[in-house]
Structure 1
């Protein structure tokens, strides 16, 4: 995909490839909604926010096909979280964390800027990964630690890592 596209335009291209139609609407209550293969995004949001919301709605497209607006229902909350986790993998992912590390992004601000997400969104993704993987996870030739804060270590000698 071209680096000339902003993050929202990149999400629109992905949605189009998936035969998902995206419309901008002047919502008052929601930032995004999905119905079938149509996603509705609140008109006028900042580009980064629009990209993150569109990614989450695409996540709902892939993870559930029912109305989950009633967040008092525990099953709906579970499905909401499932769509968000899909989005975190889409917009950030363990690959993105390592990519930001390789580009010498050592603060959440720099990482968020590199990954085209907001700091809040990145923090939510990291919390989600902490819940999924615990204190850390091996990814390729790296160890990503989520406790006590996000850090990435490269293991040049994988035999050493396996002995730990």
Structure 2
């Protein structure tokens, strides 16, 4: 409040800072959805689940696990279509609106669900205590599965996605106010 900035140091028009910030935040939140990365991670999950065994068969052949993967894949496809719809608005000069908050929420939920299913697929190998491998001092994990060794850190790292860019709880408040008028 009552901040004084020399005219030559202004970025954009005077008294439009919050408008600019909301525009940038909308793009950030749209990007946080990370559809491309989630598609790669889904392919990785399917590969891992095809190699892991349950009752002598690939884990991906287990109907319960396969249903979880299929449901997540459907969510990811819906997210991708929604991202494309929001991004296509840019051609008409409209930046992302409150839909960016929805993309941020769903994108981070998909990302976290993917890491949870990866963890479930790999099982206890996801948390080996193989410090030299994790530090990059050895090329292969002594646990036997190079994909599994860093997964615990990856899983825990993805917990932050529901916080940065505005926590998912805050995004729900934005949606309630801007879309539902609450």
Relative to the length of structure 1, the TM-score reads 0.33
Relative to the length of structure 2, the TM-score reads 0.31
Relative contact order (C-alpha < 8 Å, sep 6+): which is higher?
2
Q: Kindly indicate which of the two structures has a greater share of residues assigned to helix.
A: 2
Greater Rg over alpha carbons, structure = 2
Q: Kindly indicate which of the two structures has a greater share of residues assigned to strand.
A: 1
